[in-house]
Amino acid sequence: PLRVAVAGNGAVAAALIRNLRLLPCRLVWLTSTTPIDSGVPLAALNAGSVDQLPDYSHLLIASNDHELDKRLCAHALRHPSIGFIGCLGSEKKAALLRKALHEEGLGTVDTARIITPVGLADINGNHPSIIALSIIAQLLTRSVTGASLPVDSDRD
């Protein structure tokens, strides 16, 4: 099954969790708050939690802290098998993030693995649920190409 870690405390992170719970995937939420009834396993919102992610996990970063995003991305790039790495932000933030990661010794090939700004450009909207759906659609097109998600016979 698809393994996805969502990092962040805000509305987009919560929307990602709500929508990903509808899909056949294993989730973990890296957060520094205790969401009410999230229904998914929680882990600390820090770079060390990225190191503990299971092999072949995908990481969606939706925090509001640029320094934290940098640390999360650096650890994800050094993880032996993290797949999709998506980071919420603008083009300006993307450039700053890549520059900071280069200064930490990560090369252009490494930083090119980070999809930022994350989400499909054709899906527009500022509502957290729209942003989350755009991100999930991009994740699915990149991580499940050529394969299909298992069908849950209890759902229509």
Check pLDDT > 90 for residue 118: yes
Q: Output the pLDDT for position 156.
A: 34
Q: Output the pLDDT for position 144.
A: 57
Q: Output the pLDDT for position 59.
A: 98
CA-closest candidate to residue 69, choices 43, 92, 46, 53? 46
Alpha-carbon span 80 to 68, nearest angstrom: 20
Give the neighbor-by-neighbor strand order of the sheet with 2-7. 42-44, 25-31, 2-7, 57-61, 85-87, 114-115
Per-residue confidence band for 35, with pLDDT thresholds at 50, 70 and 90: confident
Q: Residues of the chain with pLDDT > 90: what percent?
A: 84
Spatial neighbors of 52 by CB under 8 A, at least 6 apart, are 43
Q: Output the pLDDT for position 112.
A: 94
- Give the pLDDT mean for 115-132: 95
> How does DSSP classify residue 145?
T
